[in-house]
Amino acid sequence: MRVVVTGGAGFIGANFVHLALKERPDWTIIVIDKLTYAGNKDSLPDSGYEFYKLDIAIQNQELEQVIKSCDAIVHFAAESHNDNSLESPWPFIESNIIGTFRLLELARKHHKRFHHVSTDEVYGDLELDSSDKFTETTPYKPSSPYSSSKACSDMLVLAWIRSYGLDATISNCSNNYGPRQHVEKFIPRQITEILQGRQPRLYGSGLQVRDWIHVDDHNSAVIKILESSTMGEYYLIGANGEQTNMQVVKKLLKSLGKSEDDFVHVEDRAGHDLRYAIDSTKLQTTLGWRPRYSDFDAGLEQTIEWYRNNQEWWEDAKRVTENNYLKKGH
Ligand code: NAD
Ligand code: TYD
């Protein structure tokens, strides 16, 4: 099978390429990536795949030829950071909505299998003190320019399935952690702050809850859906990893030999979602998927180790990212 991986130089896409080369050696992997600030070719393996530097939001012949040559598309490419979307929404509209539209049109024209990678943030948030979880029937109610652009892209995929019979599936996953995540995101930002001798920063109270899943578990679910699901199905992916942001920061500080209280509160994010939680029963019962990283603390240790051992991968991006956060007052 020739599989196009859009956004394959980003966090989840690059880990997908590593996993697929290991677990599906008979696949040919073709990476398409614009190499925005979030894309990094050093995240990819040294060899074993094809690479095309292309913008999915711009119609062009090379993009069409690559899509024409494949059997399936796994669509990760997106602008992905909520804070950036609040500062500057346009790139999110362009890559996440127009980019998905262009890919859907190419998949329709050339009759390709399409898997759309999305987020649980399309559902908005849950109350902090409830035990509710998102399911496949939760209504969409996105909060930020990022989550609304992802919600729009999901709607496009649903319409292409219904109106054109596109052989497509959708997955909505909770917050990922693991190696190769950009240092603008919560966990790598705090790990690298501590490694550089500064204090982790919690937005607002720090009591917001995220449902963490290891990136390899997300990607094993995507492979399962790609291989086993029928057209038009959509799945929530999660691994029961609910933690408050403060709990995560305290774990990181302890692991790195600091006092658990050595953090600061900073100004809260506008429209900050309170809590996400996933019920992944459908994926588990209909496709038999199970997460491998059931122990969040062990996964966090592995992630800390990766950042400790790969400083050359993150230090340039760290400088730029922290300058940007400083300009925003964080
Ligand atoms: P990321 O920002 O680390 O990587 C995105 C990649 O897409 C980058 O390599 C970037 O260069 C590329 N890209 C962006 N715009 C492009 C364009 N117009 N054309 C081609 N390439 C482009 O993001 P990530 O965390 O790896 O997320 C990947 C996908 O998974 C996204 O669709 C995101 O919405 C979804 N998702 C992420 C999470 C999470 O916790 N990170 C959770 C659920 C779903
Ligand atoms: P983030 O990694 O940006 O993911 P998302 O917005 O998709 O959930 O943030 C995760 C949580 O961490 C979110 O509640 C915001 C919070 N956060 C902080 O408290 N401090 C930080 O420096 C960052 C980047 C995020």
- Structure confidence by residue, pLDDT tens digits, 248-292: 999 999 999 999 999 999 999 999 999 999 999 999 999 999 999
The SS3 call for residue 11 is: helix
Q: Which residues line ligand 2 (CB under 6 A)?
A: 82, 175, 185-186, 189, 201-203, 208, 210, 245, 269
Distance 206 CA to ligand 2 centre (A): 9
**213 with 174: CB under 8 angstroms?**
yes
Percent of the chain with pLDDT over 90: 98
Q: Which atom of ligand 2 is nearest to the CA of 83?
A: 3
Q: How far is the CA of 27 from the centre of ligand 1 (A)?
A: 22
Give the distance from CA 247 to its chain's centroid: 21
Is the Cα torsion angle 85, 89, 95, 97 positive or negative in sign?
A: positive
How far lies 294's CA from each of 101, 209, 275, 277, in Å? 36, 18, 20, 15
Rounded to the nearest 10 degrees, the angle between the axes of helix 296-309 and helix 186-195 is 50
Per-residue tokens: 65: 């030829």
Across the chain, mean pLDDT equals 97
pLDDT at 159: 98
Residue 294's H or E segment, with its range, is: none
Contact assessment for residue 190 and residue 252, using Cβ atoms and an 8 Å cutoff: yes
CB 78 within 8 A of CB 96: yes
User: How much distance in Å is there from the Cα of 267 to the middle of ligand 1?
Assistant: 26
Of 5, 11, 104, 273, the one to substitute when testing ligand 1's pocket (max ligand atoms within 8 A of C-beta) is 11
- Asked if 207 contacts 246 with a C-beta cutoff of 8 angstroms, the reply is yes
Q: Is the pLDDT of residue 150 over 90?
A: yes
Per-residue pLDDT for 103 more than 80?
A: yes
d(CA 214, CA 163): 35
Catalytic annotation, residues = 120-121, 146
Ligand nearest to the CA of 15: 1
Pinpoint the alpha helices (H) of 24-144: 61-68, 82-87, 90-92, 99-110
The CB of 179 under 6 Å from ligand 1? The reply is: no
pLDDT on residue 300: 97
As a CATH number, domain 2-176+214-239+277-292 is 3.40.50.720
Distance 36 CA to ligand 1 centre (A): 10
- Integer Cα distance of 6 and 310 in angstroms: 24
pLDDT, residue 169, reads 98
Q: Pseudo-torsion of CA 77, 81, 84, 89, nearest 10°? A: 50
In this structure, the residue with its CA closest to atom 20 of ligand 2 is: 202
Instruction: Identify which of 275, 266, 272 has the alpha carbon closest to the alpha carbon of residue 322.
Output: 266
Phi then psi dihedrals of residue 245, to 5 deg = -60, -35
CA angle 159, 171, 216 (to 5 degrees): 155
Start-to-end CA distance of the chain, whole Å, equals 46
CA–CA gap between residue 244 and residue 253 (Å, rounded):
15
**Residue 294 scores a pLDDT above 90:** no
pTM of this prediction exceeds 0.75 = yes
Q: Which atom of ligand 2 sits closest to the CA of residue 330? A: 22
Contact predicate 263/248, CB 8 Å: no
